[in-house]
Structure formats: C-alpha cells, structure tokens
Structure 1
Amino acid sequence: MKNFLELIKHCLTEVHELMPWDLEERLQANPDLLVVDVREPDEFAAMHIEGSINVPRGILESACEWDYEETVPELVQAREREIVVVCRSGYRSVLAAHSMNVLGYTSVVSLKTGLRGWKDYEQPLVDAEGRPVDLDEADVYFTPRLRPEQRRPV
C-alpha cells in the first residue's frame, strides 16, 4: 500500500512540473495558456492567480468531459492547449495533471511548490473580486494549521 507522498512520487513518473519563475515566463510567452486551480472554491476565492479557472479536484474528471453537471466547456475544449495545474502546495496538482494526461490532454504540467511557491516568488495573487492580495496576509493563509487529532499518534 502506498501512502500519499508515495502516490505523488509515482504520478511524477508521468507528470512534468515547472517552477513559479517558469510559469511567469510561460504566461508571458503564451497568452492562450490555461491555468487550472484544483483547490476548493473557498480556497480559490481567498486567493488565486489572476485569469485562472477553478475546477476543484473532486470534480475534475467529470469537468473534463461533455454531458456532466460539472462539465467546464473551456476545460473540455482545452485538450490541445498548454495547461498548468495549480494547488496550494503542488501535490493535488500532480494528481490532477496525472488524471488529465490519462484523459488525453496533451500538454499538462503541475506547478511545483504550488501557490505557496508562487507567493514566495512574490508573484501576484487576487481575491474573488479581483483585488490584489497582500503577500504578508497570504503568508498567514499558507501557514499549516494542524489540529492535534491530525498528528500521527506517538
């Protein structure tokens, strides 16, 4: 049985990653690039990369296909577009990119370090209304908050 990080490592045998500075360059070079944020809607509303679309990980596979309640037409029609999948830390995006590769997307990569790394590289984030997010406030948001019951028993 694999644990979470072993599953990520396995998927990385088939998924490519790029660093935040590479995404910055790709966004400048390719205005058609699609950034897919697979975090939950409340996470996306708090802060995201301007112009990205929110397709939560839990509905991704059906959002990639026609005739489902979750269908996202822009995503279905993007099978040949350059796509960068993002999440908070770069793990969910690896799983999502792997699924998209299996579903026939031809140019999908995951943002290594996720939006946390994007913020650390001092790249802009916006909130649900499109207002810039203060990067110091983003630091607080990205700080892990484990509850005692979530920690491994001793």
Structure 2
Amino acid sequence: MKRITYKDLVAEIAPQITEYFPWDIEDKMTDDANILFLDVRENQEYDTMHIDDSLHVPRGILETAVEWDHEETEPELVEARDRQIIVVCRSGSRSIFAAHTLMQMGYSNVSSLKTGLRGWNEYDLPLVDLEGNPIAPELGDKYFANKLLDYQRKPN
C-alpha cells in the first residue's frame, strides 16, 4: 500500500475548494462587509497575530464548534451556514481541510485563503495582536518564516 503524505491529502482535497489570494480578498472586503474570517490555527498562533475581527476556532474542535449543544459551540459560526466564510491558517493547507469539513457539514459559501496568513502579511494586509494592536509586516515576516529544526528534516 502506498504511503500517503500530508501534501498528498492537501492536493487531493484542494480542487474541491475555492481558494482566494490575499489581493482577491482585499477586493471582496470592499464589496462585501459580511465576510467571516475563520482562523483555524492553534491558540498560541492566533494570540500572536491574526486578522482583526476574525473568529478563532482551532481546527481540532471545528466539527463540534459548528453545532449547538457542545462545550465548543461557537454561535456565530453555527449561524453562518449561508454567510461567506474565508478560512485562514498559516500557509493555506489546514484551511483547505477546514473548508472541506465545513462544506461536508452543510456550509454553502466557504473558501480558503491561498498562501495563508503568511501571504496575507507579505501582501501587507493588516494583522493585529491579541489586544488589537497592529503588527508591523516585518514582525510578521519573522514570525511566518520557516523554522524547521534539523531533527524535523527528513534524514538523508
């Protein structure tokens, strides 16, 4: 049996998902103020920097956050089944999986931020910290830089 990788899974699901580059979303933001940015990164990632007014629901609790009667229920997300949702993560891969999950669960207008917040920052769109203070793009560049450690790399 062939071993399937994370990249294989992303490549398999991506054609089913509408993806937008940051500049496409910038245009949409002026046309439609009712966009819900859904950030599916982990808590510490979101707390460091995020899109202002984005809704934070970590990928690990997404399935229960979209339904009533769970400790993780997020009412704004439960009630957004027909609202335009743009799912964001660091690089645009986790958001593919999250958008796919939302579509399977009946959400009708879901897309993913291609290039993730890394690309958002590179395009100089605004990010804020947990207190809502603006983040300098240079700080974002450092934060989103690839930080693979030697022991995380595939052996030769």
Give aligned-pair identity as a percent.
Answer: 49
1:89 paired to 2:91 = yes
1:53 paired to 2:33 = no
Q: TM-score, normalised by structure 2?
A: 0.96
User: Which residue does 1:142 correspond to in 2?
Assistant: 144
1:63 paired to 2:68 = no
Q: TM-score, normalised by structure 1?
A: 0.97
How big is the shift at 1:148?
1.6
> How many residues align structurally?
154
Give the superposed CA RMSD: 0.8
Q: Bigger CA drift: 21-30 or 84-93?
A: 21-30
The residue type paired with residue 47 of structure 1 is M
User: Which residue does 1:39 correspond to in 2?
Assistant: 41
1:22 paired to 2:24 = yes
What CA deviation, in whole Å up to 9, does each residue of 1:33-65 have, x standing for no partner?
Answer: 100000011111111111101100111111111
What CA deviation, in whole Å up to 9, does each residue of 1:102-148 have, x standing for no partner?
Answer: 00000000000000000111111000000000111111101111122
Q: 1:7 aligns with which of 3, 6, 9?
A: 9
SS of equivalent residue, structure 2 residue 38: strand
User: Which residue does 1:122 correspond to in 2?
Assistant: 124
SS of equivalent residue, structure 2 residue 107: coil
SS of equivalent residue, structure 1 residue 88: coil
User: Which residue does 1:108 correspond to in 2?
Assistant: 110
How big is the shift at 1:13?
2.4
Cα distance in 2 for partners of 1:23, 1:61 equals: 25
Cα distance in 2 for partners of 1:51, 1:27 equals: 13
Q: Which 5+ residue runs of structure 1 have no aligned equivalent? A: none
How big is the shift at 1:84?
0.2
SS of equivalent residue, structure 2 residue 16: coil
